[in-house]
Amino acid sequence: MDGNFVYGEGENRQVLQPGFRSFVGLDNITRVITDRNVRDPFVRVFLWSVMFAGGSVALTLGLGLLLAVVLNSRDVVLRTLFRSILIIPYALPGWLMVTTWRGLLNPVYGPVNAAIESLIGVSPQWFADPTLAKAGVLFVNMYLGFPYMMLISLGVLQSIPPDMMEAATIDGANAWQRFRKITFPLLLVALAPLLVVAFAFNFNNFTVIELFNTGGPPISVATVAGHTDILLSYTYRLAFAGASGTDYGFAAAVSIFIFIIVGSLTIFNFRLTRRFEEIGASS
């Protein structure tokens, strides 16, 4: 009966309406601007979300491209074996790899931390120090994402006509000049739409944030947000994170901001893809 409860029988039957209703309009959206206790954590989380997405794209592209250039060389011995090994992080489930790295980087019993401590005498606090927590999240996300960038880059590198490189070599171009003037521009044409999609994906990459350190360490006791929370994990904590996180209305308002940002990136990606298709058709 529309969420109501019926109590009693016969003439004594009553309809109970638990809770109450209140129309708040745009109050939850304006809180982001007017309420300092909401605005400050929101701005910090938003800025970190952009940094996390941009940093993840830059790191995965950099490492993936570097490995692709190396493995594309015919002088490398056992190229097929190395490619098979490097694809493992992408082939295995992401949640499994994140959980594994959480154990490897554990400050008490993690083997990676034990090795670092034996070298420098200090065990990095990946889950307690805000800066190290952000570095750890970026590192784990780079580990998960570089194989895909490597595969795409390898495909593009192998599609570049060899006679272009031969002509550049005859003209006196060295290896760096050939990469900067020929290889990288051709890579950018193929990878630009993918990079925009990767940015949008990492902007909402809830899995890595939640499984690695649950968005921690906390910013303060006044907010549910943590130093490594992105907007999506922040929204989750507002709506579902125990007794302190039951602000469903504000969580819904934050999700509107996420929709606007991701929608804008999608439109930009469509236009960018169309532009590169025109460039490819005219060339």
Enter the tokens of residue 273.
């893809």
State the residue for tokens 């599609």: 159
* pLDDT score of 206: 93
State the residue for tokens 């109050």: 27
Using alpha carbons, select from 198, 203, 201 the residue that is nearest to residue 257.
203
* pLDDT score of 243: 55
Distances (CA, A) of 94 to 48, 100, 207: 21, 10, 8
Using alpha carbons, select from 52, 149, 144 the residue that is nearest to residue 98.
144
* pLDDT score of 1: 45
* pLDDT score of 213: 92
pLDDT in tens, the chain (283 residues): 445 555 455 565 666 566 666 677 787 888 777 878 778 888 899 999 999 999 999 999 999 999 998 888 878 888 888 888 888 888 889 999 999 999 999 998 999 999 999 999 889 999 999 999 999 999 999 999 999 999 999 988 888 888 888 888 888 888 888 888 888 888 888 888 888 889 889 998 999 999 999 998 998 887 888 999 998 898 888 888 755 557 788 788 888 888 888 888 878 877 877 776 666 555 5
Using alpha carbons, select from 269, 40, 65, 28 the residue that is nearest to residue 183.
65
| CATH numbers and ranges of domains, the chain | 27-282 (1.10.3720.10)
* pLDDT score of 176: 86
Q: State the first-to-last Cα distance of the chain, in angstroms, to the nearest integer.
A: 66
Enter the tokens of residue 237.
């904590």
Do 278 and 261 contact (CB within 8 A), yes or no?
no
Do 233 and 227 contact (CB within 8 A), yes or no?
no
State the residue for tokens 């952009």: 50
Using alpha carbons, select from 272, 283, 276 the residue that is nearest to residue 189.
276
Enter the tokens of residue 80.
């097929």
3-state secondary structure the chain: CCCCEEECCHHHCEEECCCCCCCCCCHHHHHHHHCHHHHHHHHHHHHHHHHHHHHHHHHHHHHHHHHHHHHCCCCCCCHHHHHHHHCHHHHCCHHHHHHHHHHHCCCCCCHHHHHHHHHHCCCCCCCCCHHHHHHHHHHHHHHHHHHHHHHHHHHHHHHCCHHHHHHHHHCCCCHHHHHHHHHHHHHHHHHHHHHHHHHHHHHCCHHHHHHHHCCCCECCCCCCCECCCCHHHHHHHHHHCHHHCCCHHHHHHHHHHHHHHHHHHHHHHHHHHHHHHHHHHHC
Using alpha carbons, select from 136, 60, 146, 135 the residue that is nearest to residue 102.
136
Is the four-CA dihedral 52, 265, 241, 246 of positive or negative sign?
Answer: positive
Q: What Rg do the C-alpha atoms of the chain give, in angstroms? A: 25
Enter the tokens of residue 258.
């996420």
* pLDDT score of 144: 94
